[in-house]
Amino acid sequence: MLFTDTLKKNYEFRRLYARGKSAVTPFLVVYARLARRETRRVGFTVSNKLGKAVVRNRVRRRLREIYRLHEAEFVPGAELVVVARGRAVGAQYRQLERAMLDACKRLGVWRPGTP
């Protein structure tokens, strides 16, 4: 991810849960907030309830790839946390992509077609 830093600390995730806006889809929940910085920051969460490590990592890899392919279209300074829901396990890639981008668009952190 060229323009993006990752969220790793628990307090960074909790801050977004508390202060960020959220958009819900059947496959995932996206929390977003605009910060006063040039870089984007993103974190992904997949619960143990969704399955064993292989299943969770597959969902996480798909979400990261969706973000990576559309990274340049996200607003600079955006902070995101993407939380996978139960239906994400059986979802096709295109369904996840559509759900994530739709949620980000509703939150105002994704603008399609911008370089």
Judging by DSSP bridges, how do beta strands 28-34 and 78-84 pair with one another?
antiparallel
What's residue 36's pLDDT? 86
Q: Over the chain, what is the mean pLDDT?
A: 93
Q: Does the pLDDT at position 1 exceed 80?
A: no
Q: Which helix (H) or strand (E) holds 28?
A: strand 28-34
What's residue 31's pLDDT? 97
Tokens of 51: 């399955």
Rounded CA Rg of the chain: 13
Q: Does the pLDDT at position 29 exceed 80?
A: yes
pTM of the model: 0.92
Which CATH code fits 4-107? 3.30.230.10
Can you tell me the mean pLDDT for 25-46? 94
What tens digit of pLDDT does each residue of 44-76 get?
999 999 999 999 999 999 999 999 999 999 999
Give, to the nearest 10 degrees, the angle between helix 53-69 and helix 93-107. 60
What's residue 3's pLDDT? 76
**Within 10 Å of residue 55's Cβ, how many Cβ atoms?**
14
Judging by DSSP bridges, how do beta strands 4-6 and 28-34 pair with one another?
unpaired
**Alpha carbons 87 and 96: distance in angstroms, whole number:** 10
**Rounded to the nearest 10 degrees, how much is the dihedral formed by the CA atoms of 28, 32, 38, 39?**
-30
Residue with tokens 């911008």: 114
Spans of all domains in the chain: 4-107
